[in-house]
């Protein structure tokens, strides 16, 4: 399973956000949102590839940074086309990650990592760039069904926005593909994923905060749902 290359504009979107958390308008400070935002850079080798090619195994490896317990983190794995460290993992967590523990407990070959406080200043009616890798589904007859048509995908992100306090003013769809995971001693698990990016408008700040904290959509344990935002 190929995780999908991220073009330079998307990489700049998230990296710029990591470096400029203090540049948001300063009218409302969301102290309740305070979390940790981490970037993990990995070397390209066979061990890393075998783990990163399975979102389930990636999730299990990241869990070691928190000593197990409740999963209270979101992540997204991407392949950079510019950085000499091709694999990158973006991690948003409530607890402080212990990456030394993760390195000692897993076969991940880590080149470097950094963590910053995630405590942006946001306000109602603010416009933000957004980037989201999601697993859009609908539930019918107690089963989840993947959405693949463009009109269904746009309808899905608009419904999520309505429920989570934002309106997507512009939407681009990229990198639609199937992701496969290989749990130990269990059949493979497949998820359809799609990358959304564009401009959103915050309509309900409290709901939007929860979307940032908890993610959007299903299959969050498989690398979906992390909503990244920054100023336009």
* Confidence category of residue 142, pLDDT binned at 50, 70, 90: confident
CATH of domain 5-118: 3.30.70.1200
Higher pLDDT, 156 or 142: 156
Q: What is the mean pLDDT of residues 179-191?
A: 77
Interatomic CA distance for residues 125 and 140, integer angstroms? 34
Domains of the chain, residue spans? 5-118, 127-230
Give kind and range of the element (H or E) at residue 200: strand 189-202
Dihedral (CA of 24, 211, 119, 86) sign:
negative
Decide if 5-118 and 127-230 have a common fold.
yes
Q: Residue 162: helix, strand or coil by DSSP?
A: helix
Tell me what pLDDT residue 43 has.
84
Q: Is the whole-model pTM more than 0.85?
A: no
Q: Does the structure show a pLDDT above 80 at 6?
A: no
* Confidence category of residue 28, pLDDT binned at 50, 70, 90: very low
- Span of 76-80, 81-85, 149-153 with lowest mean pLDDT: 81-85
HSE-CB for 77 with a 13 A CA cutoff: 25
Interatomic CA distance for residues 161 and 153, integer angstroms? 12
Higher pLDDT, 70 or 126: 126
Tell me what pLDDT residue 16 has.
53
* pLDDT tens-digit readout, 7-20: 444 445 444 544 44
* Confidence category of residue 184, pLDDT binned at 50, 70, 90: confident
Can you read off the two tokens belonging to residue 195? 């990358």
Q: Does the structure show a pLDDT above 60 at 22?
A: no
Please check whether residue 220 is in contact with residue 149, taking contact to mean a CB–CB distance below 8 angstroms: no
Tell me what pLDDT residue 93 has.
96
CATH class of 127-230: alpha beta
Burial of 41 (0-12, 13-18, 19+ CB in 10 A): middle
Give kind and range of the element (H or E) at residue 48: helix 46-52
Interatomic CA distance for residues 211 and 229, integer angstroms? 11
Residue appearing with tokens 């195994």: 57
Question: What is the Cα gyration radius of the chain?
Answer: 17
Q: Which CA distances in Å does 214 have to 32, 43, 169?
A: 13, 29, 22
Please check whether residue 34 is in contact with residue 133, taking contact to mean a CB–CB distance below 8 angstroms: no
- Mean pLDDT (the chain, rounded): 83
């Amino acid at each position: 399973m190929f995780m999908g290359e991220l073009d330079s504009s998307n990489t700049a979107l998230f990296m710029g956000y990591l470096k400029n958390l203090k540049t948001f308008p300063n009218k409302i400070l969301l102290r309740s949102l305070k979390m940790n935002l981490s970037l993990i850079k990995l070397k390209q080798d066979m061990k890393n590839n075998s783990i990163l090619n399975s979102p389930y195994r990636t999730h299990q490896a990241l869990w070691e940074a928190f000593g197990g317990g409740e999963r209270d983190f979101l992540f997204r794995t991407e392949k950079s086309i510019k950085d000499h460290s091709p694999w990158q993992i973006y991690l948003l967590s409530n607890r402080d990650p212990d990456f030394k523990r993760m390195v000692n407990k897993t076969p991940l070959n880590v080149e470097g990592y950094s963590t910053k406080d995630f405590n942006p200043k946001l306000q109602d009616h603010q416009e933000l760039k957004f980037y989201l890798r999601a697993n859009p589904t609908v539930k019918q007859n107690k089963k989840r069904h993947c959405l693949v048509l463009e009109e269904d995908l746009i309808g899905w992100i608009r419904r999520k926005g309505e429920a989570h306090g934002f309106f997507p003013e512009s939407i681009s769809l990229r990198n639609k593909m199937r992701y496969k995971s290989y749990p130990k001693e269990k059949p493979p698990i497949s998820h359809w994923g799609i990358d959304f990016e564009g401009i959103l408008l915050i309509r309900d700040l409290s709901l939007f905060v929860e979307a940032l904290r908890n993610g959007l959509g299903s299959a969050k344990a498989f690398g979906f749902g992390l909503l990244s935002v920054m100023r336009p």
